[in-house]
Chain A
Amino acid sequence: MASLLRYDDPTAPVFLKGLTMPVTPDREVFRSLQAGDLTALSVLYDRYGGLVHRLALRVLGNVSEAEDLTQEIFLMLWKNQGYDPNRGSLSNYLLTLTRSRAIDRLRSRSSNLRFLQKWSQNVPTPPTTPFEHAALGERSTQVRAALQELPLNQRQVLELAYYDGLTQMQIADTLNTPLGTVKTRARQGLLKLRQLLQDFVG
């Protein structure tokens, strides 16, 4: 298999960092993984391990549980290979799976919480969006900038729903805000975010 450039490898020479390098596309690396190439798994871990771990940590709030889930996600990718490149980007698949599994774990901690199942489904991102080609650092910069543009109360509602898996009713209770207001804020926040990131999402 051709050598795979790890643009975010911590051992990469300094001059490589921050450059948008012509890295081997995810779908090609994934093809190698399907053929049983362990190097492909290590490349994908180097690309997305940090992101998966960050999301797991944000939802679970516990370092060792986050590491445990990160391991579970990458071993699922290796063993089950449930990812279908025609249905969306690999990064999006990993994040969706991580969020869904993390919230499952939260649920098993506290059975009286109800969680939105909508986002547990595979959320497709068109695989050829510019977002797919942007280096991770650039993606983070763009999404952070977009979130900064949102009014704080809209952002707060979106984050409570996404990371904590709370229903709108639970969010209304948590924030001591009328349900109608919570719904409006969430919808307007999402629409604004979509507008701000439309170059990425299409």
Chain B
Amino acid sequence: MTAVSESLIQYERLERLTHKGHSVFFCNGLLRQFLTFLDFQERSFFVSIFNFAQRGKEGGFIMTGRHLIEPRDFTVEELEKIFQLAEQILDAPERFLDACKGKLLATLFYEPSTRTRFSFEAAMLRLGGSIIGFDDPNASSTAKGESLSDTIRTVGAYADAIVMRHPREGSAKLASESSHIPVINAGDGGHQHPTQTLTDLLTIRQEKGRLNNLTIGVCGDLKFGRTIHSLIRAMDRYEGIKFVFVSPEELELPTYVKEEIEQAEYVETRDLEAVMGELDILYMSRVQRERFVSEEEYLRLKDTYILNPEKMELAKEDAMILHPLPRVNEISVEVDKDPRAKYFEQAHYGMIVRMALLMTVLGVKEND
């Protein structure tokens, strides 16, 4: 324990650490490279020791240079730091116009995305930074057969941070293992989408005024919905959370996600109307055509739940409707006028929280 914390204090020179007595890791200098070898519990443990050791030096938290692969890569306290910064940006965005001046963000999108990519690019540009990247892997070296690790190493030689979306699950973690600059996961297949979660959490925090004591309904495609998996992982760490999972049988939440719920209560149902009145938040999701092997199966399931004004009448007066967007027809357009519909505000919060995240991992401050 002592040896570990001493090594971590001198992490710049960290070269070898034995792990559980029989594995040896080579870290070549940076804490974040070491952290990629650990599971989230171990990571939280080392990060907490490290933050403790560094307290007072950087206001108690070391977040510069860290990867964000899944929501639990940051502790609740660290997320709160990001949200506080986001709040400052919301209040006075002009103070941050040059915060990332001279910094370069690489956006590697191996899978189509408009929203997330635009959100990141807008965030970086609004901070005065620059962008390189691609949104069509056929136009990159991948088409020539280059491995993901090689691409990441090469891009790491040019940019200060990487944002990556990739159709394969676990790709962001693999990328982070070859990267000496921060890697931010912008979606890895049906697995995780942590910046959407930061968006969701900031929206809830700003609109509800709290992140605890909430009943959260999650409805639609819970099987392939990576935003949902990430949201559940993140919200499980706050007190007094109850989840209501609403889905057809074929699109139920995967067992591994349910097994990971440690603190929150949860119930599963097929009947959205029956639970509408209980919910503080209803998180709707799209049934994603691209995740289905069978078109027939997709067509059969896509319209299972449609949120319309009639269902909204059953909701609490202060309920909040969220959706990661894009929507197809799971929320009828009439609901948009309802003040409880917050999904377009959510998109704005998404850019703001990405600004705060980029500033945090790049270690930059507001304009001088």
Q: Do A and B bind each other?
A: no
